[in-house]
Every structure is written in structure tokens, then in C-alpha cells.
Structure 1
Amino acid sequence: MKKLFIGVAFAGSLFINAQEKTKSSSPITFGVKAGLNASTISRSDDRYYESGDHNDEDKLKVGFQAGVFVNIPVAEKFSIQPELLFSQLGSKVEETYSYYSSNYGFKSNFEYKANLNYLTLPVMVQYNILPQLYVEAGPEFGYLLGGKIKGDDTRTTIKGNSTTISKESYSEDLPMDLYRRFNFGIGIGAGYYFTQNFGVTARFTAGISNIMKETDYKMRNNAFQVGVAYKFK
């Protein structure tokens, strides 16, 4: 993780140096951005179990994103903005499984977070409604760097008149052999610059590709992103 942040900082310094060497008359601008992700993983299957009762719920997981961008005007109101970002995606899941017979039963409550760390390359086409206000849309390409799965498992067991409760916490590296390295999505968003340099951004990215290998169903990354941006002018 430390090497990743050093790499992003190095890329940012390259952009800053390139911007300083660019003539003042050039319309191309460089910048940095950072913010929060509210992400989840959508599934295309209906989960079915032969016995017992099972419920699960995917909730938004908060992560962060940060990186650099270059804005390239191509027409009076249109520009193209490639970005290079470190982005934390994934999902928070609450899952309950229970089974009961005449004198025995148990209930398991799982709460865990799947943290997926991506290096992403969004390429946004922006349209300036006003000089300081724009809307955007475009593809996003991602490369999975790794991640973690962390959670708690609370189990209640009933045997006759006896009830026991146990709790176990776990943390493990993401099983990379089960996930696809490359990810593809489509983003739409908007931004507003309060000054020539400083602005706020908002974007929703919908996953298109399946993030899992060899499954009968599809799992896709989805994220709503908000943040701030700074252009070097």
C-alpha cells in the first residue's frame, strides 16, 4: 500500500512538472482530485438454499479515491478528461442463516466487508453547461490490485434447553484466484468549480463486466463518488 501511494504521488509530481512546462496559452490543464466512494456489488442471481432459512443484504461500503487528471479541450464547450486513480470499491454484507429441528437449532449472523482496491482509468467526455459547471460521461477501466475481507460471525446454538453464543472475527486477503483482474464500467457525473482552480465533483459508475471468474451469475462493481478537484493554472 505504501508503494502505491508513493506511485500516485510520483505521478502527481510528473503532472505538476508537465503543467509548469506547458505554455500559459495552452488550454490543457492538469490537476489532482480526491474523495469518498459509496460502493456496493450487485449480483444477477437469486440465491437458493435447499434447507434452513437464509437472508442476506448488500449495503453501501465507504472507501476513498485519489489521483491525478488532465483536462484536454477539444471544442468550445467539450473536453476529454483522462484520470488515474486509486479507488477502493467493494461491498458491506449482512447475512443470516438459521436452522431449527425439534431439539436442535442454530442461527449464524455474518457481517463482513469486501474491500477491493483498484487502479482505475476513467476517460470522461465533459460538456460545459456554464464556464464553471459541467456534466460528463465515459468509460472506466480498472485493474484489481488486491484487497481484504473482514468481518464477524456470531453464532447462537440451541440444544434442548441450553443456549450458547459464540463470536469470531476474521480478516483475510482477497482470494485473487477467484477474481478477474480487469474491470470495466460506465460513469456519469457532474462538477462545479468555485474558482479557476478549486471545484467539487460527483459521479456514479455502473459496473459492466463480471468481477468474478467462472460463475453462473455476474457480480458487478457500482459506486457513487463525491470529492474535490484542484486544477493547476
Structure 2
Amino acid sequence: MKKLFLGLAIVSTSLAFAQQTIEKEPVSFGIKAGGNASSFSEQKLGFNNLKAGYYAGVYANIPLSTEFSIQPEVIYNELGSRNVVSSRDVVTDAVTANFRSEYRATLRYISVPVMVQFKPARNFYVEAGPEFSYFLSGKNTGEAKITTTVGNNTVTQVESTSSSIDKDDINKLNFGLGLGLGYNFTPHLGINARYVNSLTHIYNSRLQNETNSSPNNRVFQLGLNYKF
């Protein structure tokens, strides 16, 4: 009986201590923003295939203990892909032709990541969790440039294209998994790096059949967060 009461006392003390710890770390809110480097899963990873974009939004951090917390976010997220092709053709000793094309696909989403964060150190944390996104709009842009050199004369021809992406061709809902880490410089300012890989195809089933292509989104994110 004494052991039972001792065990209950230890459990009660532990629960009281945990409750006090959580009360000392209330739910906090903040804003975050940064840059994206995104591509499609069918592309090889490389600088020429990474499209620059950005994200910005708000978050809430909900402590579960001194080590664990849950952080839901709502962010505007600009994803997509980039493809650069260049070549040089020597026609004769006096005539050369340089070709370069760059095409970009921009996909805009509202994303809701829900990250579980673990803090092995006071200011450092690692995180993982799902991300749910809703497609808003998109566009395709491109530029092809041909530079021809004949002797001392150079002629450059540039052709640009731009078109909106048909919303009916894109899956409205996108689901992915994220993995990241972060460091808080001060109680208010921190830095965060995250990789998110989509598990949902970008195109709907009809366009996948027409193009024989079924890419997913993938993105590297780096930015700052400010806690109020």
C-alpha cells in the first residue's frame, strides 16, 4: 500500500510539473516568409531545373512539452519548374550560332503545413509533418534566343511566350510531406529550412494520359520567421 501511494505521489508530482512547464510556454503566433527553389519530380536535380519563387504566411506554435510542439501554418506558396537548354553551332570559321531557351511553369497554392517539432537543444529544432495545398492559378512563360555571329556582325533574335495554365488541367488538392530544421536567434527571430515532396500528381488523370507524364511538386524552402 505504501508503494502504491508513493507511485501515485510521483505521478501526481510529474503531472503537476509538466502542467507548470506547459503553462510557462503558452501558444505563440508569428509570421514567416522566404524563398523557394522548386522543380518537378521528373526533372533531374540541378540549377537549370530549379525555379525561384517565394512563400509568406502565418503560423501558430502549440507546445506539447518542453521538447515537442505542433506548428500549423497557412502560407501563400509559389512552386513550379524551370528548364534551360543551350547549344552552340559552328557553321564555318566565320559563322557561329548560339541558342538558348528558358521555360518556366509557375504554380500558385495556398498551403497548410502541420509540423511536429522536436527541440533537442534550447534554440534548435527539427520538424516533420504533412502539407495540404489548394491550387489557385498558374502560368507558363518562355524565351528563346538565337545569336548569330558572321565575322564582326552579331544578330540576336528573341521570341517570348506567356500563357495561363488551365485550372481544369491541374489537381486542385495537393498533399505532401515536409522535413526541416530551424534555429531561433532570439526569442522572436529565427531561421527555417524545409524540404517538401508532394505525393499527389500535379496534372489530373486526363492530362496525364494525354502527355504520358505525371510529375509531382518538390521544393526547398529557406526563410525567416518572427514570433510575436
Give TM-score scaled by structure 1 length: 0.71
TM-fit CA distance, 1:167:
3.4
The whole-number CA distance in structure 2 between the counterparts of 1:139 and 1:40 is: 19
Q: Percent same amino acid at aligned positions?
A: 42
In the other structure, the counterpart of 1:77 is: 67
Distance 2:204 2:157 in 1: 33
Which residue matches 2:193?
202
- What's the CA shift for 1:26? 6.0
* Alpha-carbon shift at residue 33 of structure 1 (Å): 0.3
CA 143–187 in structure 1, closer or farther in 2 if over 3 Å, else same: same
Name the SS of the counterpart of 2:201 in structure 1: coil
1:67-106 maps to which residues of 2 (within 5 A)? 67-95=57-85
Q: What is the correspondence of 1:154-233 to structure 2 with a 5 Å cutoff?
A: 154=145, 167-214=158-205, 215=208, 216-232=212-228
Contact 1:141 1:182 in 2 (8 A): yes
CA shift, 1:177, in A, is 1.8
Q: Distance in 1 between matches of 2:86 and 2:157?
A: 15
Q: Give, in whole Å, the separation in 1 of the partners of 2:200 and 2:41.
A: 11
Question: Equivalent residue for 1:16?
Answer: none
Q: TM-score by structure 2 length?
A: 0.73
Once the two structures are superposed, residues 128-183 of structure 1 have per-residue CA deviations (whole angstroms, 9 ceiling, x without a partner) of 11121100000001111102211113479xxxxxxx98532011112222111111
Moved over 4 A (4+): none
Deviation of the 1:114 alpha carbon: 0.6
> Which structure has more helix as a fraction of its residues?
2
Give the greater-gyration-radius structure (CA).
2
Secondary structure, in 3 states, of the residue corresponding to 2:168? Answer: helix
How many residues align? The count is: 184
Which structure 2 residue ranges, 5 or more long, are not aligned?
Answer: 1-22, 88-97, 148-154
Please report how far the alpha carbon of residue 88 of structure 1 lies from its aligned counterpart in structure 2 after TM superposition: 0.6
Provide the residue aligned with 2:90 in structure 1.
none
Q: How does 1:103-182 map to 2 (within 5 A)?
A: 110-154=101-145, 167-182=158-173
Kindly state the Cα deviation for residue 87 of structure 1 after the two structures are TM-superposed: 0.8
Unaligned runs of 5+ in 1: 1-23, 45-56, 98-106, 157-163
